[in-house]
Structure 1
Amino acid sequence: MDLDLKCKTPILSYSDDEFKQILEIRGKTLEQLPEDVNIIKEWLKMQPHLPMHPTDRQIVCFLIMNKFSIERTKEKIDANYTIKGLMPELFSKSPLHPDVQKTISLVSCGFMPKLNKKLNRVYVCRLESTDVVLLDGYNYFCSFLEMKTICDFSDSDEYIFDFSYFPMKMVTKFNPMDFKRVLTLVEKVYSNRIAGLHYVNIPSYAEAMINLIISFLKPKIRERVRIHKSLETLGEFFEKDQIPKEFGGTGISLSEICDNMNVLSKEYDEYIKESNNARVDESLRPTKLINDDFLGYHGNFKKLQVD
């Protein structure tokens, strides 16, 4: 089996050597990948309830994020399709939807194009206007979680949120349950490992909101939260080229990051639409879902609890 795992776009770049290092961290080699991919593909043939099948490349992405646990990879691939029906509010609009485009024009956000020295992908975000609709912004972010399965490989993700512009009005817009649903997707569906959460320039009136967000995190993730009083201290955690120019680094500018994300949006919008609209046929599911802390009891999806 020939697996095409080379970098697909400079917008989310990684070298062949970096990819090999990511595998080595998990005790795998390139030569061992086809066997694991085949196991998943054979399992997929016996899952008539799934509306779509991931590509070989996406299977490798899920294997990496789940440390090559075959069973966990199966669960997360299943969850990736099942969740579209459980949380449709987060998958109702593709990146090019007019509502989403309006909101993202008011936020500077996206991924840095190169992996950092820890082989992590860095995400940055800064609000530019209070006219944003947060749910549309969450739809946009969820689209990028999906796109990363198509065209990116990293060891973990790190996030930088700059609150330089964050009027009190935004605190009243924040719905903690919506945020917790997004966090559930990151951790329990896409299995994106969070290596760091950096909050910068938090105004005093937003501190309670940030503390609430932190309380949602697992204890090991809470230990990776860093509060910065200014942008200057980001240099203690990131290489200069991993920090946007506006944040005091030598990396690409926020406008360039936004342009890059728009390029990806246009390239994958049709795929995201198809994926968002895909629904699992529960009547065809061969075995009941495991009663875990995410999907809840089989047959009781609509009562999913996230508190």
Structure 2
Amino acid sequence: MIRELPEELAKIAKDELNENPERVSEDLMYVKDWIEQQPHLRARKDDQWLVAILRGCKYNFEKVKKKLDLYYTLRTTAPDVTLRHRPLGPDFLNFFRLGTCLLLPKPKDQIYPRVILIRAGVYNPETNNVIDIMCILYYVVQIAIIEDDVASVLGTKIMVDYKGVTLSHFVQATPSVLKKIVAVCQESMPLRLKGSHHVNIPTGVDKIFSLISVFLNEKAKKRLRIYKGCQDLVNDLPKDIVPTEYGGDGGSIAELIENNISKFNEFREWMKQEETFGTDESKRLGKAVKTKAQKSLDGSFRKLDID
């Protein structure tokens, strides 16, 4: 049973995502029936999870099928990204406590996309990899969209802090790694990315952004924000969600780390179940449908889409 949306959020879901409250139960049953008919697919069938997938695909059932299939296929074929660390295992928690990827709090007085903070410069590139952040992000997004309808209806934003990032960090983001990250985040996750905010950018990195912009569509380019200082960032995001280290009132990084770990502990059983899902390619009926994301793993970049 899914949660009933507040009036304002329900209107957004209807107008932007084609959600019809009177048909949601029927739509969920259709998706569950389709999953049951796929012998190769070991997929989660919780209502709140599936409605997040439906919203992420704007209730286009063909897109829903492709996204679900790709999501669980990548669990099997790209475990170096999706299962690099066992959720809540020692390695996972030790890396998480560095604060490389944190879900920021909800603003108190407005409906606003959920914001995820990424701090790549705080990990040691000699002992960890950028894919470790991807692994954390993979589960942070799941928690956000299951726990909070704002995340599945209104979407999420990414705030990236480059303080401490060195050349050793950047060289880890090889073309093959970036392609996998694009495939997992953009095509398989029910993630409505509403923009990205970048601060503390090292000298010369602006040239990298110029290169990346080649792969962005016009909407994505307009939603990419680069700040010279933290004050501009606070002026652009709700102040009560921005960490105190950046001039906001959203609590300290240390507090946010503990809050996020507590949230992971609440979802402990969910995380354990996640390890049981995936695909058995020997049981697949016919050939796998090649999405643009899957092709990108072997081919060239395509334009990054931001909804």
TM-score of the alignment, normalized to the shorter chain, above 0.5: yes
Distance 1:175-1:118 versus aligned 2 partners, 3 A rule: farther
Query: Which is worse superposed, 171-180 or 73-82?
Result: 171-180
C-alpha distance in 2 between matches for 1:304 and 1:148: 30
> In structure 2, what residue type is equivalent to 1:139?
C
User: What displacement does 1:294 show?
Assistant: 2.1
Match of 1:23 in 2: 13
Offset of residue 273 of structure 1: 4.2
C-alpha RMSD of matched pairs (Å): 2.7
Structure 2 Cα separation of the partners of residues 305 and 86 of structure 1: 16
Report the counterpart of residue 304 of structure 2 in structure 1.
Answer: none
Q: Answer with 166-175 or 82-91: which moved more.
A: 166-175
1:201 paired residue number: 200
State the distance in 1 between where 2:294 and 2:173 align: 24
Could you tell me which amino acid in structure 1 is paired with residue 62 of structure 2?
E
How far 1:18 sits from its partner (Å)? 4.9
1:96 aligns with 88
Residue in 2 that maps onto 1:248: 247
Aligned equivalents of 1:256 and 1:199: distance in 2?
22
**Contact 1:107 1:126 (C-alpha < 8 Å) held by counterparts:** yes
Q: 1:288 to 1:117 in 2, by over 3 A?
A: farther
1:226 corresponds in structure 2 to 225
The separation in 1 between residues aligned to 2:263 and 2:299, in whole angstroms, is 33
Aligned to 2:114: 121
Alignment match, 2:141 = 145
Name 1:57's counterpart in structure 2.
Answer: 48
- Tell me if structure 2 keeps the 8 A contact 1:130–1:167: no
Range with greater deviation from structure 2 (275-284 or 197-206): 275-284
TM-score normalised according to structure 1 size? 0.83
Indicate conservation of the 8 Å contact 2:101/2:118, yes or no. yes
The answer to whether the Cα contact below 8 Å between 2:102 and 2:260 also exists between their aligned partners in 1 is yes
Question: Distance in 2 between the 1:50 and 1:40 partners?
Answer: 13
Deviations 1:54-113 (A, max 9, x none): 211111101111111111112111211111122110123123222222222223531223
Within-5 A mapping of 1:274-285:
274-285=273-284
Displacement, 1:271?
3.2
* Structure 1 counterpart of 2:66: 75
- After the TM superposition, list the runs of 4 or more consecutive aligned residues in structure 1 that deviate by more than 6 angstroms: none
For residues 107 and 168 of structure 1, do their structure 2 counterparts lie closer, same or farther at Cα, with a shift above 3 Å needed?
Answer: farther
* Cα-to-partner distance string for 1:147-192 (whole Å, 9 max, x where unaligned): 3343232212111112233344433444343233223222101141
Moved more, 208-217 or 261-270: 208-217
**Any stretches of 5+ residues in structure 2 without a counterpart?**
302-307
Q: Number of paired residues?
A: 292
